[in-house]
Amino acid sequence: MTGAPLLIHRATVLPAWLDYNGHMNDANYLMVFGYGLDLFMDRVGIGEEDRKTHEISLYTMQAHLSYVSELHANEPIRVETRVLDFDQKRVVLYYEMFREEALAAGPVAACESMNLHVSTAPVVKSAAFRPESFAAISALADAAKALPPAKYAGRPIAIPRKAAAS
Amino acid sequence: MTGAPLLIHRATVLPAWLDYNGHMNDANYLMVFGYGLDLFMDRVGIGEEDRKTHEISLYTMQAHLSYVSELHANEPIRVETRVLDFDQKRVVLYYEMFREEALAAGPVAACESMNLHVSTAPVVKSAAFRPESFAAISALADAAKALPPAKYAGRPIAIPRKAAAS
């Protein structure tokens, strides 16, 4: 398990997650990607018990969502989470969401997040990962190098225009 | 009102919006920024009645959130929304969230979103804005030019490194 490049979370789209367009609401994608973040934290020693014992946590500094295809009620979905980059106290994660029954069709949404490791006492402050966490993150990052490119990562938001039009 | 550069939504952080860190959860920021999007849609003729009458809507294609400072229960907040860019069928919005009682301290969070105008019948398909909407968006974009720069817009997610370290 330790060498697996992806952390996989499965879910089903709940009717309560839809909005007036009849599809899954923007914010609920981020909630579901958050389950991928939970898996990651459990895997690298920042899970619930670790947070209490070591007075640490992982804060999200940025999240960039890309919406590709609509989701409707009761669709089985999965989130695949990988490590894209990291340093002593930061980790960049990349998540793709798929229809469980149409994995080959590619992601219906993606998310990239910048996360900061913190100590939570006496005050919240950025802190280096514990050595066990750093090693686990490093192993996940190495394994992720074998995956297809993270298509929706690293992009700023911009309306594409021909050079002559500006 | 039409000439105001900002659309302002006020809210109070509900206890239900917090997570295990005791602060407002990532996904709920996006939910609150969504109220800014609703204000925008009402203002430019893509509100609830317009969506039904004209069989149109506005879909979020990307959203990039930046988290600056933690929010706790019962804090009064506001979201200020402006138009950053647009073309015939797309609009880029920029939102900043503030503590209502500490506006001068700067935003506690920001969001940039890429939104696509669609016709919803017979199938969902990208569509040019109605002339009334286009004119209203154009007026908001013009007015927004007088605002301070959108500090958290246009950035890709990346761990900053010194050139020599790569």
The verdict on a CB contact (< 8 Å) between A90 and B21 is no
- Asked if the structure places residue B63 within a domain, the reply is yes
Chain B residues near residue A70 by CB distance under 8 angstroms: 124
Residue of A nearest to B87 (CA): A159
In this model, does residue B152 exceed pLDDT 90? yes
A136: left (phi over 0), alpha (psi -120 to 50) or beta: alpha
Q: Mean pLDDT throughout A55-64?
A: 97
Nearest chain A Cα distance for residue B3, angstroms: 24
- Determine the distance from the C-alpha atom of residue A41 to the mean position of all C-alpha atoms in its chain, rounded to a whole number: 11
The verdict on a CB contact (< 8 Å) between B62 and A60 is no
CB B99 within 8 A of CB B75: yes
- Asked if the structure places residue B115 within a domain, the reply is yes
* Percent of chain B predicted with pLDDT > 70: 96
- Asked if the structure places residue A119 within a domain, the reply is yes
Q: Mean pLDDT throughout A77-96?
A: 98
- Asked if the structure places residue A121 within a domain, the reply is yes
The verdict on a CB contact (< 8 Å) between A159 and B87 is yes
* Percent of chain A predicted with pLDDT > 90: 91
A109-119 and A125-126 as β-strands: parallel, antiparallel, unpaired?
Answer: antiparallel
CB atoms within 10 A of CB A19: 12
The verdict on a CB contact (< 8 Å) between B158 and A154 is yes
Confidence of residue A21 (pLDDT cuts 50, 70, 90): confident
Q: What's A100's DSSP letter?
A: T
In this model, does residue A1 exceed pLDDT 50? no
pTM, 2 dp: 0.95
- Asked if the structure places residue A165 within a domain, the reply is no
Alpha-carbon separation of residue B60 from A155, B34, B69 (angstroms): 16, 10, 25
- pLDDT at residue A164 in the model: 57
State the residue range of the domain holding B19.
7-147
- Asked if the structure places residue A137 within a domain, the reply is yes
- Asked if the structure places residue A161 within a domain, the reply is no
Q: Which residues pair with B112 in a beta bridge?
A: B64, B94
In this model, does residue B117 exceed pLDDT 60? yes
The verdict on a CB contact (< 8 Å) between A158 and B154 is yes
Number of domains making up chain A: 1
Angle at A148 between CA A147 and CA A153, to 5 degrees: 105
Q: Mean pLDDT of all residues in chain B?
A: 95
Encode pLDDT of A109-143 as tens digits. Answer: 999 999 999 999 999 999 999 999 999 999 999 99
- pLDDT at residue B1 in the model: 45
3-class secondary structure, A135: helix
- Asked if the structure places residue B153 within a domain, the reply is no
Encode pLDDT of B40-67 as tens digits. Answer: 999 999 999 999 999 999 999 999 999 9
Encode pLDDT of B84-112 as tens digits. Answer: 999 999 999 999 999 999 999 999 999 99
- pLDDT at residue B4 in the model: 83
The residues on A that touch B, with CB distances below 8 Å, are 20-21, 25-28, 30-31, 34, 48, 51, 57, 59-67, 70, 85-87, 90, 92, 112-114, 120, 124, 153-159, 161
ipTM of the complex: 0.94
Which among A74, A150, A143 has a CA at the least distance from the CA of A107? Answer: A150
- Assign residue A63 the CATH number of its domain: 3.10.129.10
In this model, does residue A54 exceed pLDDT 90? yes
Nearest chain A Cα distance for residue B149, angstroms: 16
- pLDDT at residue B20 in the model: 87
